[in-house]
Amino acid sequence: MKSPAFAYAKPRTLDEACGLLEAHGEESRIIAGGQSLVAMLNLRLAAPGLLVDINAIEGLGGISVQGDRLVIGALVRHREIEQSGMVAENCPLLAQAAPHIAHVAIRNSGTIGGSIALADPAAEWPACCLALDATFRLVSKKGERRVAARDFFKGLFATALRPAELVAAIEIPLLPNHRSVFLELARRRGDYAIVGLAALARPEGGRLHDVRLAYLGGGDAPILARHAMQAAEGKPPAADLSAELARDLSPLADLENRAATKLHLANVLARRALAALAA
Amino acid sequence: MDHTSTLTLTVNGTKVSRTVQPRTHLIDFLRDELGLTGSHIGCEHGVCGACTVRVDGTIVRGCLTLAVQCEGKAVDTVEGLSDSGELAQLQQAFHERNALQCGYCTPGMLVAALDLVKSEPDATRERIREHLSGNYCRCTGYQAIVDAIETVLVHRRKEARA
């Protein structure tokens, strides 16, 4: 299908962009890479009156290490993260997760800020940000505020973003003594995962400390599996976290997999991830 | 707020300027406005890869890119890449290996394959499959397509050593 008609603006500054979003309210949508939004437009699942293209705004790009944090601008493309030496060195989890995002042609356009703002429960970056305890820099006419990823994702496509506010950057604490693993189960490469897991821990003498397990596809939002994390804390890799995961996750059945199947697969991923983190 | 924009960009080396609706995606612009019907429209929501084209040297989904977002950019389609000879080896290999039947997916396959051949000369069959995972073929299956791309990679590696 073809998208419904909309107006288009390409502001040069954040101030101008926020002004447009404020003036047009719910009628307006931000477009960056457009890899989810244009598909939704074509399918007529979205019909905004105005698209505010933020690609020309300076200061929303770039990857840098600032103090004890890796900072990634909202406009950084998935592919840039995948190929960045700085990311591989300072936050291997992101480099491990990037190749799982759709396909190269999509990763060349799609942005990390867009993925965070959309908050698709099956997306890779939101789960990674939960596991990494990232913080988002959000900007609006009122200025900047910082919101922890763990307070940001509120449910299905729902976030702490206020009207006329946009994601400017993602800040990730450096964890030099942690190991990370990113795993997904999908029927075909590049498909949305049936279930996926971003896992981090600090291994020490065969035991895992500061265990973090964040799931995608485990419910209507990215989910930090707190009970499973607690059960795995300070121990050698657990073989079975199914009871804990049943409390943490609430996967939705789809055409191919029952909720129980997804829970089982989540446990399989946890077992694999913990073993890999301790190895 | 106007519902049309003037768009100037370079397509296959030629500068073009047109008035477009913002809702027009790149692939409709190329096909309907410029008559470049080599790039195909399949699913129109980013799944099939038939509309793969190059923008500023990187491959993108033509159906998920708004034409207005290509202001000032350089777009290369299968037509331009054929004329320049960039695709010649791949086209010959696709022909020899019977890597197409109806041809619907072929322009997208070629543009995606060229991206891999250029960026990863040592790519394995596994990497070829990964790189083409976003391009669907419903006729030949993928074996012959992977064969064709591998043929080109092997040939290029031999050339590079010689």
CATH architecture of structural domain B5-77: Roll (3.10)
Q: Are A83 and B37 in contact (CB under 8 A)?
A: no
CA distance A242 to A25: 44
Q: What confidence tier does B1 reach under pLDDT thresholds 50, 70, 90?
A: low
Q: Smallest Cβ distance to B66: which of A9, A34, A102?
A: A34
CA B55 – CA A34 distance, rounded (Å): 15
- Is A52:A29 a contact under the CB 8 Å cutoff? yes
Confidence at residue B62, expressed as pLDDT on a 0 to 100 scale: 98
CB A171 within 8 A of CB A161: no
A227: CB partners within 8 A, 6+ apart: A244, A245, A247, A248
The whole-angstrom separation of Cα B154 and Cα B80 is 25
pLDDT of amino acid A174: 98
Res B92: pLDDT: 98
Closest Cβ opposite residue A5 in set B21, B28, B60: B21
Residues of B with CB under 8 A from a CB of A: 1-3, 5, 21-23, 25, 28, 44-46, 49, 52, 58-61, 63-66, 68-69, 71, 112, 115, 129-131, 133-135
CB B49 to CB A105 under 8 A? yes
Provide mean pLDDT across the span B90-102: 96
**Which residue ranges in chain A fall short of pLDDT 50?**
none
Q: In the prediction, which pLDDT does B5 show?
A: 86
Q: Which pLDDT tens digit goes with each residue over A181-209?
A: 999 999 888 888 999 999 999 999 999 99
Dist CA A30 CA A114 (whole Å) = 9
Query: What chain B residue is nearest to A101 in terms of C-alpha separation?
Result: B134
Q: Which of A61, A248, A256, A46 is nearest to A157 (CA)?
A: A46
Radius of gyration of chain B (CA): 16
* Mean pLDDT, rounded, for B43-58: 97
Q: Does residue B144 register a pLDDT over 90? A: yes
Residue B141: per-residue pLDDT: 83
CB contact, 8 Å: A8 with chain B? Answer: yes
Instruction: Beginning with the edge strand found earlier in the chain, give each strand of the sheet holding B14-20 in spatial order.
Output: B14-20, B5-11, B74-76, B52-55, B58-61
d(CA B146, CA B116): 12
Measured between beta carbons, the chain B residues lying within 8 angstroms of A35 are 46, 61, 64
CA pair distance A124, A146, nearest whole angstrom: 21
The tokens for A181 are 């693993």
Say what percent of chain B tops pLDDT 70.
99
Nearest to B134 among A8, A99, A104 (CB): A104
Quick check: B101 pLDDT over 70?
yes
Please report residues of A whose CB lies closer than 8 A to that of B67. none
What are the strands of the beta sheet with A179-185, ordered from one edge?
A: A179-185, A195-204, A207-216, A223-224
Which two three-digit tokens encode residue A210?
């500061």
For chain A, domains (ranges, CATH) are: 7-53 (3.30.43.10), 63-173 (3.30.465.10), 181-278 (3.30.390.50)
Task: Please list, residue by residue across B124-142, b when 16 or more beta carbons sit within 10 angstroms of its beta carbon and e when fewer do.
Answer: eeeebebbbbbbbbeebeb
Q: Which residues from B are below 8 Å from A3, CB to CB?
A: 23, 25
Question: Rounded distance, CA A185 to CA B147, Å?
Answer: 27
Q: Which backbone phi and psi does A30 adopt, to 5 degrees?
A: -85, 140
Contacts of A43 in chain B (CB under 8 A): 45
Place of tokens 């988002």: A136
What is the identity of the amino acid at A273? A
- The CA distance from A108 to B65, in Å, is 11
Distance CA A52, CA B146 (A): 40
Domain positions in chain B: 5-77, 85-161
Fold of B85-161: DNA polymerase; domain 1 (1.10.150)
Burial of A104 (0-12, 13-18, 19+ CB in 10 A): buried
d(CA B44, CA B46): 6
CA distance B120 to chain A (A): 13
Q: ipTM exceeding 0.90?
A: yes
